[in-house]
Chains A and B, each alone.
Chain A
């Protein structure tokens, strides 16, 4: 009980002083709220970037993946020989291999005729390379010449494709090549591409006449169910040319993520924004605590004259910082949550509010307020009863 009271009494006094001056309390909470929302948005965009960047490899149905070692990311690949992929069939554990062709291309909006770039996936429809049900059910139709399927989750600038298809408008151009849209599927966009279409490997070559069926972007390998993926991976590494990288499922996602984090400076930009948000919030909380101590220094000196010790006031400052952190975090979380929903509905980026993110931001905000409190403590020296009475 005594230990509890050592924190409870200063915290209660801090609370009573904070709520006594409501306008100042609201200003302080707004400062924390601001920092909170800023950090949530920065982290949200960053995570969204990484998840959406990995949305394509996420749906790839394979055990091992070959890419050229100079491929920085799946939207900017360097092609390599298809024969390299075929050689892996010599390994007894490999059951099936399939090449994946990727390219960015302009897609013409059927109504407005405005062209916008999206990602084109080309593969043999019989292989079911993307684990997407809508594509699998259409695989026979996709073998027909000049047919494609369109990703419903593409940005709205490509037009309301589902409605157009229902209205019988299904002809458009991809890379200035006329194609027929068979239907829609759901995949999701990334920072690299605003939309996706899927077509067969043969149609891919028709859309991109300067591409060669022997030059592939990604090689997808499927193994016997009971084999050790890592063992086959290392055996294939020895067999294959050294310019081909062999990744398992997690590694290719990690490769994508790392590109956005490190190679593209986007990871840095968001981290920088996070730090700036925390610094600004810290300065605001520090200012509030500093003025609070200045305004209350007579009262603190009075309490000291009554026998309160210095550490009581240190606890009070930290308690104030903690209260401000909580009071700013709760509305900050609610506001950020609706901003996440807004972002998902307006710019079609996946922005989930995960428990992990909530915990991370809360830890950041606590750290920010604790630092501000730590810096404000020196102001307590102004409350010396001998100088005041």
Chain B
């Protein structure tokens, strides 16, 4: 099991202002599975995703990702998990002063033993795989929304992560480019047997999933 969440509780605030967000969450995801998580706004989807991605510290229950316990973990453990996880954001979150190619290379620069030419080669390869071979040297502001999100997918996949976490990747895209982006993501993930956990409201893309889970008021409901 790549992602194994058991009895996870999480709340914001403290004292009488405590606002429980996640209640006794249990979620297990196998290697290579594509899981979509849906649910209304405020149901805690993004919070769960940030805990699994090692961005947010949980202090209760058990969250084991790739064999590492993330509950009450050190910064070092969280960084280790972040490096094995590709994160796709709701906004593309590309670095605006870097070209598409340079943005993708940012993932590869975390692997200090690659040479510059290896990084270039891999980044060009993955950008070609998302259909952007002729846009490599464009800055994000010169790309369309769909192209930006595809760069963002390429960036997440470039480091050959074991897990992809995606937070509403189609939210700011029109129907066609949203669908294209997710199709590309699915194809590349299946090729490399990468696990995907994708949070979305977008019912148009449910068909890519192996499994759909629904989160409502902090509780997982099987669909």
Point out residues on A near B: beta carbons under 8 Å. Answer: 1-2, 5-6, 9, 13, 16-17, 19-21, 298-299, 302-309, 385-386, 389
Contact = CB atoms under 8 A, between A and B. Distances in A.
Contacts of B223: none
Given A2-B112, A305-B53, A16 B93 contact: no
Chain A contact residues, majority secondary structure: helix
Contact of A299 (B56, B57, B83, B93): B93
Contact of B79 (A6, A9, A307, A386): A307
Nearest to A4: B112
A303 B106 contact: yes
- 9 closest Cβ pairs, A-B complex: A20-B97, A307-B83, A307-B82, A386-B56, A302-B93, A385-B55, A17-B97, A2-B112, A299-B95
Contacts of A298: 93
A309 B167 CA distance: 22
Interface in B49-94: 50, 53, 55-57, 75, 79-80, 82-83, 85, 87, 89-90, 93
Residue from A2, A6, A298, A385 whose CB has the most chain B CB atoms within 10 Å: A385
A337 B98 CA distance: 37
Contacts of A1: 112
Given A17-B97, A302-B95, A389-B46, A307 B167 contact: no
B109 interface: yes
B94 to A, nearest CB: 8
B89 to A, nearest CB: 6
Nearest to A309: B79
Residue from B90, B97, B112 whose CB has the most chain A CB atoms within 10 Å: B97
A304 B46 CA distance: 17
B55 A389 contact: yes
A9 to B, nearest CB: 5
B84 to A, nearest CB: 8
A6 B112 contact: yes
25 contacts: A1-B112, A5-B109, A13-B95, A13-B98, A16-B97, A16-B98, A20-B97, A298-B93, A299-B95, A302-B89, A305-B53, A305-B55, A305-B82, A305-B89, A306-B82, A306-B110, A306-B155, A307-B80, A307-B82, A307-B85, A308-B110, A386-B56, A386-B57, A389-B50, A389-B55
